[in-house]
């Protein structure tokens, strides 16, 4: 009479493979002899293991659904039947868990050998640029020192006419397994093979030029196109110009980072520029025309009569290009001109007399000196003036 394998696992006949797996996992953890010492647990564990073996195999499950028993004819694990070892397929509870997390019923399944060909890493190069170069963009030849594919072995790592051989230590699996006993039973662990370093093969005759790595260091010159509008700290990406990977793997990218040098006249704020223009006190009072040097040439700026210190003029579109994230330019910033009125520090008697006459004609009296809040006779600083502001 055919066994009710669905009933043994406690699932319905239309259960999915995930449901069958979850039911077996739960029962196996409860009934494994390393955990459950009760009488009958060993026999029950044997039944559960056999039921999972049958229902997890589509062909055997089909036989069960047709009313037969695939284990009657000797099919399946001998250990699941009387007279055999019921735990032949499992070294311990750790192996049961491996069956659900990447392993199989016969023990922890390995990940397999890893490829010798690996992705290369990115490279970084810093490039000093002037403000003018950042504004206009520039093509610059730079020298880079990176790993490139070995031209002797073409990245394979072996000498001409030879090829890697299968590792004898791990038999090409790339890893070796070890079994340790714990309070939960036998636990099987895997680690990379120390001989082949996880590759599964050994280069017996390495290339003399690259030593088996498949790549060599090389210095080369490439042209970098810097777009207009870049700024300090921005990076330009050159795809595939970085380090070639081990085994001749694909190269990473090269990033060129801009280091903008300070400018003697302008201070940059994004796409805007700021500069300070000094004019004499008399010129600010009478009005004048000053010549401003911009990045694109000279511009004339009209200073109106009576212009006060700190007055700001804005020259539209005289800043830097506005570089967007997509690499395109959208408009330009502005140039902010800050007026610095220069007061003479030394006057001869004639110049002083003229200023007195001007003050007298304007009805201006000489102001009293500002004293600090402490009354010590010294001129008050900016913070003392702020403190006295609310009492005026």
Residues making up the annotated binding site for Zn(2+) are 150, 153, 167, 170, 193, 196, 207, 210
Structure tokens at 282: 């008399």
Structure tokens at 305: 């009569």
Conformational region of residue 242, where left means phi above 0, alpha means psi within -120 to 50, and beta covers everything else: beta
The residues facing 237 across adjacent strands are 255
> Could you count the other beta carbons within 10 Å of the beta carbon of residue 243?
21
Give, for 302, the enclosing helix (H) or strand (E). strand 297-303
Structure tokens at 34: 């390393």
Structure tokens at 355: 């200023």
CB of 271 closer than 8 Å to CB of 320: yes
CB of 188 closer than 8 Å to CB of 107: yes
98 alpha carbon, distance to own chain's centre? 33
> Could you count the other beta carbons within 10 Å of the beta carbon of residue 345?
5
- For the stretch 40-70, what's the b/e string if a residue is b when 16 or more beta carbons lie within 10 angstroms of its beta carbon? eeeeebbbbbbbbbbbeeeebbebbeeeebb
Q: What DSSP designation does 110 have?
A: P
The string of DSSP codes covering 41-82 is: HHHHHHHHHHHHHHHTSHHHHHHHHTT--TTTTT-S-GGGST
Task: List the binding residues.
Answer: 150, 153, 167, 170, 193, 196, 207, 210
Closest CA to 176 of 167, 185, 184: 167
Closest CA to 367 of 381, 375, 379, 376: 379
Rounded Cα distance between 208 and 163, Å, is 14
CB of 116 closer than 8 Å to CB of 213: no
Rounded Cα distance between 59 and 143, Å, is 64
């Amino acid at each position: 009479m055919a066994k009710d394998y669905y009933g043994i696992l406690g699932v319905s006949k239309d259960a999915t493979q995930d449901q069958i797996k979850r039911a077996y996992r739960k029962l196996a953890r409860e009934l494994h002899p390393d955990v459950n010492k009760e009488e009958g647990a060993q026999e029950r564990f044997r039944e559960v293991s056999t039921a999972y073996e049958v229902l997890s195999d589509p062909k055997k499950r089909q036989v069960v659904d047709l009313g037969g028993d695939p284990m009657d004819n000797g099919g399946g694990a001998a250990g699941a039947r009387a007279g055999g070892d019921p735990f032949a397929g499992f070294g311990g509870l750790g192996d049961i868990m491996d069956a659900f997390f990447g392993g199989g019923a016969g023990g922890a399944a390995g990940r397999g050998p890893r490829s010798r060909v690996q992705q290369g890493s990115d490279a970084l190069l810093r490039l000093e640029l002037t403000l003018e170069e950042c504004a206009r963009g520039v093509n610059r030849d730079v020298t880079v020192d990176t790993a490139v594919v070995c031209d002797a072995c073409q990245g394979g790592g072996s000498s001409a006419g030879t090829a890697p051989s299968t590792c004898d230590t791990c038999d090409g699996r790339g890893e070796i397994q070890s079994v340790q006993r714990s309070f939960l039973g036998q636990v099987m662990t895997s680690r990379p093979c120390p001989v082949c370093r996880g590759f599964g093969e050994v280069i017996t005759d390495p290339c003399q030029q690259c030593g088996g790595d498949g790549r060599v260091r090389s210095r080369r010159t490439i042209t970098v196109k810097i777009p207009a509008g870049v700024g300090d700290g921005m990076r330009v990406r050159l795809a595939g110009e970085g380090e070639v990977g081990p085994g001749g793997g694909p190269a990473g990218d090269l990033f060129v980072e801009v280091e903008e040098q300070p400018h003697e006249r302008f201070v940059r704020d994004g796409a805007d520029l700021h500069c300070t223009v000094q004019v004499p006190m008399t010129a600010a009072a009478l009005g004048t025309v000053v010549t401003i040097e911009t990045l694109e040439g000279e511009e004339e700026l009209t200073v109106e009569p009576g212009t006060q210190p700190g007055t700001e003029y804005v020259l539209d579109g005289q800043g830097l290009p506005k570089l967007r994230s997509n690499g395109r330019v959208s408009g330009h910033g502005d140039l902010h001109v800050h007026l610095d009125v220069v007061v003479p520090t030394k006057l001869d008697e004639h110049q002083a007399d003229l200023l007195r006459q001007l003050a007298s004609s304007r009805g201006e009296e000489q102001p009293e000196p500002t004293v600090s809040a402490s009354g010590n006779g010294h001129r008050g600083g900016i913070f003392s003036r702020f403190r006295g502001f609310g009492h005026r």
